Structures are given as C-alpha cells and as structure tokens.
Amino acid sequence: MKIGSTAIINCKIGSVQVNEVRIGSILVWSFSSFDPDAQAFITAAGITDPIQQNAINQLVLDLKGYSIWTKMKALYPFVGGTATTHKFNLKNPLDANAAFRLSFLGGWTHSSTGALPNGTNGYANTFFSPSANSLEYNDNHLSYYSRTNATSIYDIGGGENTGLKNLGLYLRRIGNVAGYDSGNYITNRNTFPNSDSKGFYNGNVISSSSKYFKNGTNQFTKALTFSDITALSVYVGAFNEDNIPSYYSSKEVSFISIGDGLSDTEASNFYTAVQLFNTSLSRQV
Amino acid sequence: MIVAQLTQEQVEQLQGVEFAPDSFFNPILDANGNYIISIEEQEQCDIQWVKDLPRIEYLPKETTNLL
C-alpha cells in the first residue's frame, strides 16, 4: 500500500506495531518481518509453510550478508513441492520468460526435497541466455545441488557446436568424472574425478581462472583461454545442444544458481548458505 | 523403463499442451523411431486418450557425445 508515492514498509501507532490494514473486510496491507526479496518470492510462489518461508528468508539474508546476492542472476530454490512453486526465480519472481521463470517439460517428479527429472524426456528451460545477460567465459558461475548419485552426460547447460560455445555442468559421467565448461569445451573444460554426484557443485570462473567446487572445496583449477560463451538458453535436467534438449539427466535438484564469478571466499560462503538452507528443509546431503 | 507410445498425429496434438499445472508434454523419438512420452506425463494428465495410450519398453536413441 502507498500513501502518495511512498510505500508503507512498516506502520506503528505510537509504539504499537500495526500488523494489517483492512478496508471493511478486505486486506489492503500487512506487515512482513521478512526481507522484501524473500517476501516477494514467498508471495509469488504461494509458500505458506512457515519452515519454508523462514528458510527462504534466511537464504536471502545470508546471500546478502555474504555480499553475493548481487552476483546472482537466477536462483531456483525449489521450495513448495510442485512445479508451480518450483518454477520461480528468487531473484525476480515474476511468472514470465523474461524473468527466467522455469518451464518444465516432460517427466518430472516434484516434492518437498526438490525436482527430479526422469532421465528420459524431462527438462526445464530457464530462458536464460548467458551471453545476452553479460556472462563471459572468464566471469561466471553455474551451481547445482544434487540429491542423486547417478551418471549423465550433462545436468545443466547449453551450447553451440558451431564455435564450441558452452556453459554447462556435469556432476558425474561414466568413468567417474565431473566437468564444467565455460566457453570452448575443448580448451576450457575443467574436470575432476568424482564417484558420487550428490552434493553442491559450483563451476566458477573469475579472472580466467576456472575452479570447480564441490561442497565449497575447490577440486581443480584450470587457466582458460579466450572464448565466446553460448547465447542459447540454459536447460536444467538436460543440455540445450543447438536448441535441442539432449543428454537427459536423472538427478534430483534442490538448488540452482546462474551468475557472475565468485571469489574463493564467496564460493565457500555460498556453500555454507545453501547447505544451511537445505538443512533447514531437512533435505541436505 | 516403460513409456507411452504415440502416433505423429498425436504428437502434434500435444505440442505446447500442459499435462499438469506448469508442466508441458515433451514427446520424443526412441531408438526404433517410436514417438513416446513418459509415464509421469501419462499419469498426471486428465486427457483420456493419453491415459489410454499403449505402453512399451523405452529404448533410448544412441547419443553421439560430441560434447
């Protein structure tokens, strides 16, 4: 509610907190103790469970406290247990492609622990184009919180065979290797041996130094060479290969982010915040 | 894995259609050239002819992993 052009953030009469304002029986304003960005998401997604509301609020507060909120361009917390609640981007919780709201296609199972693609035809379109949103091969991150130990060729990403322009993560391929592509997947792929794909994976580049973090710990550092990055939308649960969903994955996801590159300290703090978030929802691995 | 088989005409009817709130059909081809959708799509939708589709064993297309 606004008085003139001024939004009412809080309202007291003397020292008494006003919790809501009604005109007749119609609620026109209510007081929220939540962070405004958290409240916007909670409202858009229709999250009514207090545990889930508090988890979202704490996540936003932590990301802001660690000064990494502004480095995020898309955040998917997968709270609420349905496609309708899982689709919203915490950074911009509008129901629109331009807000990078997820569109789920094919077979998914949605639950309180996250979203599980079936590995056959299930994927989600983020509508997020890395190059159109100012991500560079030498400054970006892509994260995926997996609750499943399984192999797949990719778990999230997109790329173009012409020009070899990728942005993607795989957590465990056959042969037990994890990989992170930032630009040219031949010259700029960062890999490490991995036999368990559960956990929080964060492929991260800053100043041309690619680091692939698992549970907040860098597994390998690779120096990158100049490359373009893809313009194609990032897919979740598959890889957007030249605008065709390919390489379907079967890993349950409980958190995803796309954004700017993070420092080592920021990557460590990011894991702390995301792990606390998932722990508060009793779905941590 | 078991999936539901469709004809090409049925695929065209499902393009861009929601089978559940905020969830859209995604018919794909299997290794034998059959159009299929997943059991999740078949079970969660309210379209009777989709629920009546025959079920077959899923044979994934071989992927040439260029990436």
**Quick check: B28 and A104 CB within 8 A?**
no
Would you place residue B66 in the very low, low, confident or very high pLDDT band (cuts 50, 70, 90)?
low
Q: Which pLDDT does position A32 carry in this prediction?
A: 81
A139 & A21 share domain: no
Residue A285 lies in a domain: no
The mean pLDDT value for A236-253 works out to 97
List chain B residues with CB under 8 Å of A109: 40
A62 & A159 share domain: yes
**Quick check: A123 and B23 CB within 8 A?**
no
List chain A residues with CB under 8 Å of B38: 106-107, 118, 120-122
What is the average pLDDT value for chain A, to the nearest integer?
Answer: 95
Burial A76-96 (b: 16+ CB within 10 A, else e): bbbbbbbbbbbbbbbbbbeee
Q: Which pLDDT does position A47 carry in this prediction?
A: 98
Q: Which pLDDT does position A7 carry in this prediction?
A: 66
SS3 A99: helix
A182 & A75 share domain: yes
Residue A137 lies in a domain: yes
A133 & A200 share domain: yes
Residue A18 lies in a domain: yes
A143 & A23 share domain: no
By C-alpha distance, the chain A residue nearest B15 is A105
> pTM of this prediction?
0.92
A23 & A162 share domain: no
**Quick check: A120 and B66 CB within 8 A?**
no
Q: Which of A87, A109, A120 sits opposite B58 (nearest CB)?
A: A120
Residue A113 lies in a domain: yes
Neighbour count for residue B54 (Cβ, 10 Å): 7
A108-140 tens-digit pLDDT: 999 999 999 999 999 999 999 999 999 999 999
**How many domains does chain A fold into?**
2
Q: Which pLDDT does position A213 carry in this prediction?
A: 98
What is the average pLDDT value for chain B, to the nearest integer?
Answer: 93
Cα Rg of chain A (Å, integer): 20
Q: Which pLDDT does position A202 carry in this prediction?
A: 98
A101 & A7 share domain: no
Residues 2-61 of B with CB under 8 A from A: 3, 20-28, 36-41, 58, 60
Residue A241 has pLDDT above 80, yes or no: yes
Residue A105 lies in a domain: yes
Q: What's phi and psi for B40, nearest 5 deg?
A: -60, -45
Share of chain A above pLDDT 90, in %: 87
A160-172 tens-digit pLDDT: 988 899 999 999 9
Residue A108 lies in a domain: yes
A14 & A146 share domain: no
By C-alpha distance, the chain A residue nearest B28 is A121
Q: What's phi and psi for A245, nearest 5 deg?
A: -65, 125
Residue A285 has pLDDT above 80, yes or no: yes
Q: Contact, A117 vs A235, CB < 8 A?
A: no
Structure tokens at A122: 């299930």
Q: Contact, B27 vs B37, CB < 8 A?
A: yes
**ipTM for this prediction:** 0.95
Range of the domain at A74: 36-280
Q: What's phi and psi for B22, nearest 5 deg?
A: 60, 30
A107 & A199 share domain: yes
Higher pLDDT, A21 or A226: A226
SS (H, E, C) A239-278: EEECCEEECCCCCCEEEEEEECCCCHHHHHHHHHHHHHHH
C-alpha atoms less than 13 angstroms from C-alpha of A267 in its C-beta half-sphere: 27
A67 & A13 share domain: no
